[in-house]
Structure 1
Amino acid sequence: MSSSPSDSSTTPLPAEGLRVYLKPRVIGMLFLGFSAGLPLLLVGGTFSAWLRDIGVELASIGFLSWVGMAHSIKVLWAPLIDRLPVPILTRLFGRRRSWMLLAQLVIAGALLGMSMTNPLEHLEWVALWAVLAAFGSATQDVAIDAYRVEAEAKHRQAAMAATYVTGYRVAILAAGAGALHIAALQDWSMAYGLMAGMMLIGLVTTLIIAEPSVEITDATRAQEARLTQHLSESVHSGWRLQLSGWAFNAFIAPFTEFFERYGRVAFIILLFIATFRVSDIFMGTMANPFYLDIGFSKEQIANIAAAFGLAMTLAGAALGGLMVARFGIAPILILTAFMAPATNLIFAWLAFIGPQPDGLIVAIIADNITGGLAISVFIAYLSSLTNTAYTATQYALFSSLMTLPGQFAAGFTGVLATQLGWVHFFMATALTGLPAIILAFALLRYAHPDRLRRPGID
């Protein structure tokens, strides 16, 4: 294994505290988060509401929900965002901002197209605009993630994540409740037209912020040269060899570079990424059915679990950014590894005492603050693992791995809750956090999160 993953000779972290939130790029992530969150419901829940409100049949609405799958498969074209320049824009704005700008223009144009098209007369055109908006949104996510990773030091990544999440959640409210209110007062065309105009927030931010200053290391260039040399010994020649070499360096090199950099420790890192959020995802899937089953009213769920819960999540994310800036990634990662399954035990207690509002408030405070903390510190950790030559690709892979195992396993939570009952269900799901705790301590020994160096930045 290379010695680079956990070099011990690193300088101490500057103790910035609250000042981390005054950094221009940290503030900028608030507006980029808004730009990233805005299209999500406009091709999802709000889109479905629009179609049903004007009388589109349910079968068509169901098929059109597939447009949201673009976010699940964005890793497939993430290598293109790392490797391909955008004509004219890349020369003017740089590698990351050019892709962000292109994606934002596509989203704004597609939303405007949706606003000007009547689904009852031209459903196929509305579907096309929605697909463009969804792919633009997924592309923007990849480009913004890559920008965020490269724009600031590791100890500021949690703060970057916190402001990003805040802007993202505000945009969800705007595209959900906001769009519905506008449609009620005017019409859906006006609602989508105004949402398209709100994309100017992201466009203006992209034009104002500076392109991250990164470089490709000699080790990365050497690795790509070895891959190209290996291909040159094959039967390909001429343009086929050049195309194969480009494709290998774009799609294969991000994987080989990661394993070459971390050696066998890479498997510990990937297992940790896959298990860190399992207990949290288990809990989230069954939360609302649990609240209803034990007797909470819809109003109590809306006011405490949803509205108050959102405030606690944002507070937790902001606190996480502050703590990582002050203490580093490792101690907060260990803390949240313990806290996440512990909050499941609080829900077991809530299931035992029944539908008491004070109990729900305690559970929501514990769970959502922990969730916010975990989001910010884990994004900071994932950001520390990337190579600037492949930031978009590697981060997209890590973020997919972060959610897929938990989402798959969550499919069985209904059966588990039925068999065990709510008290024992939450006690059992707390145990799913044990692997992440064990692996977190293994990382302290073999790949300490605060001693990792990002090639091309650190």
Structure 2
Amino acid sequence: MGSAGLAEAAPSPQVPRRLLALYLLLGFSAGLPFYMFNAVLTLRLARHGIDIVLIGFFAWVALLPTFKFVWAPLLDRFDVPGFGRYWGKRRGWIMLSQLGIFLSMAAMAFTSSDRSLPLTALFAVLLAFWTTTLEVAADGWRIELAPTKAEQGPMVAANLWGYRSAMVAAGSGAVFVAGQLDWTWAYLVIAFAAFLPFPILVATARDADHDGRRSPALVTGLIASAIILLGSLLVTAIVGWALLAAAAQAGVTSKTNVTPLVLALALLPFVGLAIALPRIRPMRADAPARRSAAIGPYVDIFWRFGYATLPVLAFVSFYRMGDVMTLTLSHPLWNARGYSLNQIAMADGAIALLASMAGVALGGWMAARWRMGAALAGGAIASAFGNWVFVWLWKVPPSDFVLYVAAGFDQFAHGLEGAVFVVYLSLLVNPRYPGAQYAFLSGFAFLLPRLLAGAAGSIQQAIGYDGFFWLSGGLSAAAILLLPFIVGVKARLAEDA
């Protein structure tokens, strides 16, 4: 399965430790902010007494990565002015993203009272955008650096160790600081921690294909970054204002079920490509759609896999269901069950960190050594039980033991599942378009889960916390039913291969 661009089973040299250390760092950079616009934000809103349905809507901020394919081709095509001159394309985008992450999180810190929910949403969206941009640059670089399945396994494990340990550090650290001080200090502490890799990247050696000097490149890059960041703030504010005004004009309130509309709009580009499949398959290499900088990378996916693209997309859309939906309501569940901020901080701390790292290590090993179908099945089963453990937590009397066992099992299961899944998606990517195609596939993988997560509050009100976690675990397990349709999928070779 998946001879898409990466060799699946060919032997390869041992991955250099410097690359593993690099991707541990990059995973840490992306993982710290992710929790801050997701699980920590939902807990913050819950502590401020915000309605559970509105909290569910905030989970739609995490939909933004689904649309990263819109701007991902820019990262493959252009350098960041200044930074790219010395550090190269990938590191330049990563450095710009870190500046955006720091400033967005600082803004969330100084609006942490949540008295203006539109303002909270604005800075959460900006934080999600720059976090996603960092991931696009890092994923594209990883696929370029690791051309075989055997190399992908350890690099993905290192990246996810950094990512999930940072999520744990952000979750437990932010909640602990909020419990001792307040939410402003919680976000500021994580903002400064997320910024630490920036000076490390500044100190790294010049890219081999560039001949600029460090100091002028840094100054030019900072000036260009200020302009880009200000522009992104203005565009996001204008678009957000227009959307809110349109929603108000249409009579949309917190009680309006907008999930079907959001789902329809989000699916449009994917459905459009699927409908065009009969025309895409016979396209020649010089066809405008295949040569287009904007849509060429995505047309290439459908051209290479043909009609098998459809079951592959269906599979990936179910596979991470449990992980995403657990992240949305696990913290409000703990809050509703009466656990204190200090107890939650401990659950999200050392216990979750050790469990997550163990799960990622096992998942990376499985992805590199097992047949991919078996590894994917193991991940889906683990994810299902990682959700169902919260049904047990909801039904038994609260205690430290119950909370820590549930949190630990959840992190282990979803760490294992995540490592297998990243390797699988990487095997589908054409090395010609690593950033754009990985963004497209991973974005689609989280579309349906995050849409349902946005409706999590409404679902919980209808079927309760126990029903919600039974449902989310069952949806993850359902991905196994699609495995027979994808395990034999082979990519069509390009004409010049």
Same structural fold, with TM-score higher than 0.5 when normalized by the shorter chain: yes
Residue 5 of structure 2 is aligned to residue 31 of structure 1: no
Q: Does 1:249 align with 2:292?
A: yes
* Matched letter for residue 165 of structure 1: L
Whether the aligned pair in 2 keeps the contact of 1:342 and 1:430 (CA below 8 Å) is: yes
Who is 1:76 aligned against?
Answer: 70
Is 1:201 aligned with 2:243?
no
* 2:94 pairs with 1:100: yes
Q: Contact 2:375/2:420 (CA < 8 Å) preserved in 1?
A: yes
Shift of the alpha carbon at 1:434? Answer: 4.2
Aligned to 2:273: none
Mapping of residues 280-429 of structure 1, within 5 Å = 280-291=323-334, 295=337, 297-298=339-340, 301-302=343-344, 305-307=347-349, 308-327=351-370, 329-351=372-394, 353-355=396-398, 358-410=401-453, 411-412=455-456, 414-415=458-459, 418-419=462-463, 422=466, 426-429=469-472
CA contact (8 A) 1:82 1:250 kept: no
Q: Which residue of 1 aligns with 2:160?
A: 165
- Give the Cα–Cα distance (whole angstroms) in 2 for the partners of residues 406 and 42 of structure 1: 19
Which is higher, the Rg of structure 1 or of structure 2? 1
**Match among 139, 146, 164 for residue 145 of structure 1:** 139
SS at match of 1:387: coil
Residue segments in structure 2 that go unaligned for 5+ positions in a row: 45-54, 111-119, 210-282
Normalization by structure 2: what TM-score? 0.63
Return closer, same or farther for 1:158/1:212 CA change in 2, 3 Å cut-off. Answer: farther
Who is 1:444 aligned against?
A: 487
Residues 1:433 and 2:442 aligned together:
no
Shift of 1:268: 1.0
Shift of 1:37: 3.7
For 1:132 and 1:297, the matched residues in 2 are separated by 31
Structural RMSD (CA): 5.4
Distance 2:151 2:296 in 1: 28
Single out whichever of 94-103 and 333-342 deviates more from structure 2. 94-103
Q: In the TM superposition, what are the counterparts of 1:174-213 in structure 2 within 5 Å?
A: 195=191, 199-205=195-201, 208=204
Give the Å deviation of 1:403.
Answer: 1.7
1:274 matches 2:268: no
Tell me if the contact between 1:274 and 1:403 (Cα under 8 Å) persists in the aligned partners: yes
Cα gap change, 1:31 to 1:408, in 2 (>3 Å): same
What is the letter of the counterpart of residue 226 of structure 1?
Answer: A
The code of the aligned residue for 1:267 comes to L
Percent identity over paired residues: 30
Question: What SS is found at the alignment partner of 1:313?
Answer: helix
Q: Secondary structure at the match of 2:365?
A: helix
Distance change (3 Å), C-alpha of 1:173 and 1:209: farther
Q: Structure 1 residues 83 and 223 mapped into 2: Cα distance closer, same or farther (>3 Å)?
A: farther
Unaligned 5+ residue runs, structure 1? 51-61, 117-125, 214-221, 231-247
d(CA) in 2 for partners of 1:180, 1:339:
27
Inter-partner Cα distance in structure 2 for 1:420 and 1:197: 37
Contact 2:384 2:473 in 1 (8 A): yes
Aligned residues of 2:94 and 2:134 also touching (Cα < 8 A): yes
